[in-house]
Chain A
């Protein structure tokens, strides 16, 4: 028995205490949680721990190997940075949701069986929804609702796959599955929803820019990266992933160029970066998997850093659209510097973190002779510099003077951004420490003369294109607008469905109410007030119509009415006759049989 707790426990249980604490004690407690949880993780040796048997299946609360460990490390690191960044937040909904969300990501990462994994998978969705809801704007409410619905649908798909898979194989262990059969496809798609694959990606670009300033930092780190982790464990070397990842790397950059909301630009570039990781997992060689994992590690840091700088700008100015910003480098010099570090890292400049991981995926694509993929990834590399590397810092901090006058970001935010920025430079400069943590041993050398020169050429000429296009006025001016994406199908489609359902079913409902609830009882009650009279009168009228002789009918109707009023219908006799007839028939039936 080991003297430690399962990896997810400290953050999740610790989060529940947060609402009972106040002031500095609360801050200290929140900052201590990821540190304690990290020390706890270090105390867990490699292997599978906390095995329980439940309904005949093995539950494993901690499957610790090199793949889960590196994700565990970066999740702790980014939790600490995000909490530090969010220290000013007094809203406990956000504080608790953020910690639980980070804990759930650890739970998914270290789950050794699919049942445990699924519970944490759903906890990710629920806690993340609260990080969006906590913004408390109508837009955020809608986005959180859509986020929740999509992830619940994805989760159900995953659950269906898990149940089929467990039925077929008899094992719930989280291990290599590979694409074969319905169960694997369902799991594949379920994970793909969280991975923001093209077509199911729009929850990300819809919700992340609507979340709270600090919530977005948490969000950018966990959901897509746990999906990457799970793909790396269950579907390495699946060719479909190469093509999915290539599409992911390419299409968002077009959107990012014309997007006005700078946090949404980053959301698109997040999909673009995850595309590189998905390609790496699809290629499946040791170099490619290493590249995907290393890039996930780096992306969590530099994307978090970029979101933090944009969050700081939003915190100080209340604005995030490129049309409203500009010229802030004078007022937020540190934030601006950190933003440039993040931009250089995501663009993969030599000495910055993206350089040492993105190139591994490119190299693996080259070694596999995937020419088309290689060309698209190179295009995406140039494109990411264009929109995330230049556009973000340029429109927020330079460009024209927007007239905004604000203070530098608060100290705890600067510290959080500073730590992330230093790590980006450190990893970029001394990649061997990151390489030492990767799932497979590697002797990959990012710093060859050729690589440094060609990458710098690629980026400088991208920058040249940006400069010339901007100076010539061809570069698309930022316009106050939104761009429709795949979410159009369920936002407009949803409305259409709602309208169609409203018209069809509510009209049917109204018709049914009119007929069955109003008219029919009315007629029946009228009929049963004097049934004998009405039947006789109707019969009389029909008889008169058939015979064509209605000379006596008026007289007869008056006579009927009189008899009705005096209650002298000979009904009793007829009933007696009918009952006697039925009795005789029954007796006869008995004898005949």
Chain B
């Protein structure tokens, strides 16, 4: 089913490193902006800790860092095997 022949080489938007840089700058700016929003609106929450400044931002960031660290340094050494392990 492979149809990899006769395909024209294409240049994509991210082949230019400048564009990747621009995207990252926009992304970082929006992240800072989103954190700043916590100053200007009042939350209606169920749990008291949701009202802390930047709770969701910090939780999202820390959760993902912990997720990756555990997956990489705890789970992978435990469960990773060669591709022919079951053969």
Interface residues of A (CB under 8 A from B): 142, 253-255, 257-258, 315-318, 327, 329-331, 363, 366-367, 371, 374, 378-379, 382-383, 386, 398, 401, 404-407, 448-450, 453-467, 469, 474-476, 479-485, 491-492
Please judge, given known A-B contacts A330-B10, A460-B60, A481-B83, whether A453 and B37 are in contact too, CB under 8 Å: yes
Q: A453-B41, A460-B34 are in contact. Are A467 and B60 (CB under 8 A)?
A: no
Shortest CB-to-CB span from B20 to chain A, Å, is 10
Q: Nearest residue in A to B73 (C-beta to C-beta)? A: A476
Bound Cα distance from A463 to B64, whole angstroms: 9
Question: A458 — nearest CB in chain B belongs to which residue?
Answer: B60
Q: Complex formed: what's the CA distance from A253 to B66 in Å? A: 12
Known: A366-B47, A406-B4, A469-B65. A255 touches B75 (CB 8 A): yes
A458 — which chain B residues lie within 8 A by C-beta? 56-57, 59-60
Q: Which of A398, A464, A476 meets B71, CB within 8 Å? A: A476
A318 close to B1 (CB less than 8 A): yes
Known: A316-B2, A386-B67, A476-B72. A491 touches B81 (CB 8 A): no
B27 touching A316, Cβ below 8 Å: no
B residues apposed to A, CB below 8 Å: 1-4, 7, 9-12, 14-15, 24, 27-28, 30-31, 34-35, 37-38, 41, 43-47, 50, 54-65, 67-72, 75-76, 79-83, 85-86
Residue of B nearest to A466 (CB): B64
- Interface SS majority for chain B: helix
Contact of B56 among A448, A457, A469 (CB under 8 A): A457
Partner of B81, one of A327, A366, A482: A482
Question: Complex formed: what's the CA distance from A316 to B85 in Å?
Answer: 28
Chain A contacts for B54, CB-based, 8 A: 457
Say whether A450 contacts B64, CB under 8 Å.
Answer: no
**Are B58 and A461 in contact, with the CB atoms below 8 A?**
yes
Q: Mind listing 19 A-B residue pairs with CB under 8 Å?
A: A253-B67, A254-B70, A255-B75, A255-B79, A316-B2, A317-B4, A371-B47, A406-B2, A407-B3, A450-B43, A457-B37, A461-B34, A461-B60, A467-B27, A475-B68, A481-B83, A482-B82, A482-B85, A483-B81
When the two chains form their complex, are residues A330 and B80 in contact, meaning their CB atoms are under 8 A apart?
no
Whether the pair A462, B63 counts as a contact (CB closer than 8 A) is yes
Contact A329 B12 (CB under 8 A): yes
Q: Shortest distance in angstroms between A252's beta carbon and chain B's nearest beta carbon?
A: 11
A460 with B2: in contact, given A465-B68, A476-B72 (CB under 8 Å)?
no
Residue of A330, A455, A476 near B76 (CB, 8 A) is: A476
| Max chain A Cβ within 10 angstroms of own Cβ: one of B37, B58, B79 | B79
Please report the C-alpha to C-alpha distance between residue A303 and residue B4 in the assembled complex, in whole angstroms: 27
A346 to B29 CA separation, bound complex (whole angstroms): 24
- Assess whether B60 is in contact with A474, with CB atoms less than 8 Å apart: no
